[in-house]
Amino acid sequence: MAIESFSNPSHALVITNASVKNDITTFISHVYICNKPITKTLHHTVNITSIEVELFVIRCSINQATNSAGISKIIVITNSIHTVRKISNLLSHPFQSYAAIILKELWIFFLHYQEENSIEFWECPS
């Protein structure tokens, strides 16, 4: 699937990672779309929880992928699959605002070509 995504211009391959060391959180995402430069986003922050960081990096990556014209499939590879589960959990939790923003972006993505668009989350433990 990942190899197919490298050659398909309608697929976006998103790879995210976040880590905390000495109270400094670093998160990075790479968005690959066929025949386009890889988009690399790197942020550093302090005083934020790892779940907030993971939700933010997923949000930024999905935003970059959905803002590219012609994308119908997004594959997100992350080491934080437990955080991804929080996105679809509509019960009250402290990070619900992050989840709401991500779901809004996905709703807009799926609004266009509903039957063709898809997103997959793959876990890649670090």
Instruction: Decide: 32 and 57 in contact? Cβ < 8 Å.
Output: no
User: What does each of the 126 residues of the chain score in pLDDT, given as a tens digit?
Assistant: 556 666 788 889 888 887 778 878 888 888 888 888 888 888 888 887 777 777 888 888 888 888 888 888 888 888 777 777 767 666 656 777 777 888 888 888 888 766 788 888 888 876
Exposure string over 62-79, b if 16+ CB within 10 A, otherwise e: bebbbeeeebbbbbbbbb
Classify domain 2-123 at the CATH topology level: Nucleotidyltransferase; domain 5 (3.30.420)
Contact (CB, 8 A) for 24 and 43: no
Inter-axis angle of helices 81-88 and 50-66, nearest 10: 70
Q: What backbone phi and psi angles, to 5 degrees, belong to 71?
A: -85, 125
Q: Counting beta carbons within 10 angstroms of the beta carbon of residue 116, is it exposed (0 to 12), middle (13 to 18) or buried (19 or more)?
A: exposed
Run of H or E including 26: strand 24-33
Task: Note the pTM of the prediction, 2 decimals.
Answer: 0.78
